[in-house]
Amino acid sequence: MDTETRVHGAPWRWPLLLSVIFLHVCLPSLVLSYGVLLVNSVALGVPPWLSLATPATFVLTYGLTQCWCRDAADSWGGMAGYRVMAALGLLLVVASLLSCAFIPCLWHPLAYGVLGGLGSSLISAQVDAVIFETYDSHLALIRGLCFTGQAVGQAIFPHIMSALINSYGFHFSYIVLAGIMLQTLPAIMLLRVSGNIMRPMSFSRYSDLSKTYAIFNNRDANYYSAELQLHDLSKKCWKSPSDDNLHREEELIEVYDDEASATITPPPSPEEKRRNIFGVEIMPEIPEESESEDENEEHTENDKGRSRKKRLSVAIKRLSTMGDNFSEYISKQIRKDSQGSSNNSYNENREYSEVEVTYDNISPVTDVQRERIFNSFSFRCQSAYASMRRRIWMPSYRVYRLKRRMTYFLYNVNDTFIKPLTRSLSCWRFYPSLLLCFSKLSITAIMLVSMPMLASQMHPKISLNESNFLMTLHGFTWVCFLLSTPWLAQTPKRNFKYIAVIGLAISTAACFILAEARNHDMFSIGCVVAGLGYGAITSCWETAIQDFVGARKWPKLHSPLETLSASLLAVFVLGLSFGIKQTNDLQYPMFILGIVLSVVTFIWTILSVISIYVNHVRNWNCGPRCRLQV
């Protein structure tokens, strides 16, 4: 099918689109709005560094498991697989929230962070797979709508959490929050990929293998390869080349739409139809029949019947002789060898003689004697030794199965983490990309989570309702930037790095403003600036990295970027926790975060300047001659 035709004819599927947006409103708010829970946990006596470790653990679990969840979506996804795995992820999220209601706050990083991060990662992988399968022609617009849903959730959920805590208390508010998250189950049930919408092979995540498979089956004529294409010579016009229908695109498109094979492959067996080089079928040779052949067939059939009767009579004779000798064999269990003349010399030279065994010299073993043997100490020792030796030297099938599973797990870890990591570390473009991904995660898990706590440290102190309003203001400025999504959808990918640099610079300025804020006005300005910068980074960081590393290296670097950036965030939060222990002031980590973001901004500014020089300035200075050389 032509890709352009599919792009213009792709449906929007509004129920699925609304369910995806609703999931992005609810689930990411577990991290984006965690600052409200942090303020209330600190009021109950929990150290701030421990409360800050919970969203960091959430992001770490999400980053480490995202590659496995994505592979699970590719392997097990389908008409019902996406919904089953997303429902399982929702069950983990609800279980994490319910467990937080009944355990101490010291264990919240494990329950809320590990279980919630695993469930969110599983749901996010299924949602991304459904979006990629259904809306691949409108992917930029759909992602913009998803980011808009996250901004709306970040503006709404602080007020919802505050109302739940005021009404039900801190611990029991988790139960009501779990019930709210459970309402996303109908939206998960709508995550269904339509069987009528099939994306072309070029959009597959395994495009290399899919192209080879398509060329092998002659399914797609748009691929360029070194393979020889076989054509149907029956459409070839040998009289006039102008009437040749072999290479007309209209007929080829109709043939491919009907999923018919347009080629002729060599027959696998002589029984099938064969064609010569001109496409004409070669009829098989038909042997002539004669009367002599009929007579020979009748004679062969009579001979076969006689041989069958002879075999049956011989078998009956053997059975009769065996039946006559059964009584003798039972009464006298004697080993009777052949007594022929040829074996006499062999029997005379044997060192032993045959012993006749009868029931007279054998005493049968009764049940009492058998029970005594089994209950004896020597028999028990021998059986215990034999079983121990069998377990040590001859492992059972369970041990073999356990070893096989461990081997499969190690190979999976090698293919998922170690091998992509070794490839990524050998590419210099991986390191600036890692810094940009780490900056996005650090802004999410540190800046947004710390903002309600920073509001309580202002002079005069900002109330929780005022801080929730400022978080809503942060989400509103994020939505204001997302209004430019249609423009971003038409922007070339090479220009996204410039927007990402602008977002990094704005977020760096917001970190320093929040670190130096002392009153309500400065804090509100910092929230507005932070929302604008966060919107620019979240919308452009992934596309900027894709363009920077290249389309071929991006699938190989995607998983290491997620795992290493999440690991760096956990180490960074661990280092900040020592400073928070001494000062109990969250403006100190905000200042450190501003320094880190300034370094990342400087690196990406240099890369952007080099890109501008290579793509624009050098071509302008050299003129058309340099352009022709390039």
pLDDT at 433: 94
CATH superfamily of 1-192: MFS general substrate transporter like domains (1.20.1250.20)
Contact at 8 Å (CB) between 563 and 64? Answer: yes
pLDDT at 7: 42
- Max CA-CA distance within the chain? 123
Query: Is residue 140 scored above 70 in pLDDT?
Result: yes
CATH superfamily of 427-630: MFS general substrate transporter like domains (1.20.1250.20)
The amino acid occupying position 156 is: I
Nearby residues of 257 by Cβ (< 8 Å), 6 or more positions away: 1
Element containing residue 274 per DSSP (H, E): strand 274-275
pLDDT at 79: 72
Query: Is residue 34 scored above 70 in pLDDT?
Result: yes
pLDDT at 299: 66
Contact at 8 Å (CB) between 531 and 475? Answer: yes
pLDDT at 386: 76
The DSSP secondary-structure symbol of 357 reads B
- Lowest average pLDDT, out of 262-271, 387-396, 559-568, goes to 262-271
pLDDT: which is higher, 266 or 41: 41
Strand partners, 357: 333
pLDDT: which is higher, 312 or 494: 494
pLDDT at 496: 92
pLDDT: which is higher, 381 or 518: 518
Mean pLDDT of all residues in 114-140: 88
Residue 407: band (very low, low, confident or very high) from pLDDT cuts 50, 70, 90 = confident
What angle do the packed helices 587-612 and 554-583 form, to 10 degrees? 150
| C-alpha span between 461 and 472 (Å, rounded) | 18
pLDDT: which is higher, 322 or 185: 185
pLDDT at 354: 43
pLDDT: which is higher, 466 or 80: 466
pLDDT at 323: 63
Query: Is residue 274 scored above 70 in pLDDT?
Result: no
pLDDT: which is higher, 264 or 418: 418
Query: Is residue 594 scored above 90 in pLDDT?
Result: yes
- Two domains, one topology: 1-192 and 427-630: yes
Query: Is residue 419 scored above 80 in pLDDT?
Result: yes
Query: Is residue 203 scored above 50 in pLDDT?
Result: no
pLDDT at 196: 56
pLDDT at 75: 74
Beta strands in 61-177 (DSSP E): none
Residue 99: band (very low, low, confident or very high) from pLDDT cuts 50, 70, 90 = very high
Q: Where are the domains of the chain?
A: 1-192, 205-235+244-267, 365-394, 397-425, 427-630
pLDDT at 394: 54
Residue 100: band (very low, low, confident or very high) from pLDDT cuts 50, 70, 90 = very high
Element containing residue 281 per DSSP (H, E): strand 281-282
Query: Is residue 221 scored above 70 in pLDDT?
Result: no
pLDDT: which is higher, 231 or 399: 399
pLDDT at 5: 39
Residue 202: band (very low, low, confident or very high) from pLDDT cuts 50, 70, 90 = very low
Mean pLDDT of all residues in 230-249: 50
Cα angle vertex 585, ends 470, 516, to 5°? 60
Residue with tokens 């050098």, as numbered in its chain:
618
